[in-house]
Structure 1
Amino acid sequence: MENIKILLEEYQSLAGNTDARSEERKKEIIAKLEKMDKDAVAEVAKPFVEENVTRLESEMKALRSQIDVEVYKLLPISYIAKTYFNKSASWLLQRLNGYQVRGKIYTLNQEQKGIFNQAVKEISNRISALQLA
């Protein structure tokens, strides 16, 4: 049981990472879990998953409360996604809104939140400096 918990905790620490090394390790962890007793894995995983779902829901509520609906409409999502993340607007919207994709809920990790905040600050500064002559 302890092994299962350790593997799940390691997987959780890698969950927001998309680099090749992290992806490979996540696959290894899943392969190990699949070889273990399914009932034992389910017993340990259920509270683990429930705790993470609760945490993600809380994070999403916090994100949504920070971004007022009117301000949200002003954000150039497509520009931020392409310029700062080199991703599509739908990718960024999935993470801002906590949409479920392929059975997994995606949110911004800490590094991505920092990039997003920096993008908003830079855009704000550029807009505030804009004046018509």
Structure 2
Amino acid sequence: MENLALENPEAFSNALLESAKETVNQAEELRIKEKLETILPIVSVSYLAKTYFGKSPQWFYQRLNGNIVNGKEARFSGQELNIISKALNDIGDKLKESSLHIA
């Protein structure tokens, strides 16, 4: 690393920046998994994957766990994260409405 920094400071800076971006992405993935950790035992991943994405539960878990798929790490895109957020709100609304009919 020290040799690269001395021989080619621009390449070193670019490599360092890419490494930092990758670290941020990995930390964000861990945060997403942690954020969903409390609701995953309650909400069916199969239902989420099929209803809101038209995909399999394996597809969802691959992204949640950052599995290697086709040679690269599977991740939720920004749009997919928005879909998850809206799906959880939708499910919450359905639960609230159902609880009103019981009481």
Alignment of 1:84-99 (within 5 A): 84-99=52-67
User: Would you identify which runs of 4 or more consecutive aligned residues in structure 1 move more than 6 Å?
Assistant: none
Match of 2:80 among 112, 116, 121: 112
Q: Which runs of 5+ in 2 are unaligned?
A: 1-10
| 1:66 matched residue in structure 2 | 35
Q: Which runs of 5+ in 1 are unaligned?
A: 1-42
**Kindly tell me: are residues 49 and 90 of structure 1, through their superposed partners in 2, closer, same or farther at Cα, counting changes over 3 Å?**
farther
Alignment of 1:31-110 (within 5 A): 47=16, 50-67=19-36, 69-110=37-78
Q: Deviations over 1:25-58 (max 9, x none)?
A: xxxxxxxxxxxxxxxxxx7885565344313211
C-alpha RMSD over aligned residues: 2.3
**Kindly tell me: are residues 102 and 49 of structure 1, through their superposed partners in 2, closer, same or farther at Cα, counting changes over 3 Å?**
farther
> Following the alignment from structure 2 to structure 1, what is the Cα–Cα distance between the partners of residues 18 and 57?
28
Number of residue-to-residue matches in the alignment: 90
| 1:31 matched residue in structure 2 | none
| 1:16 matched residue in structure 2 | none
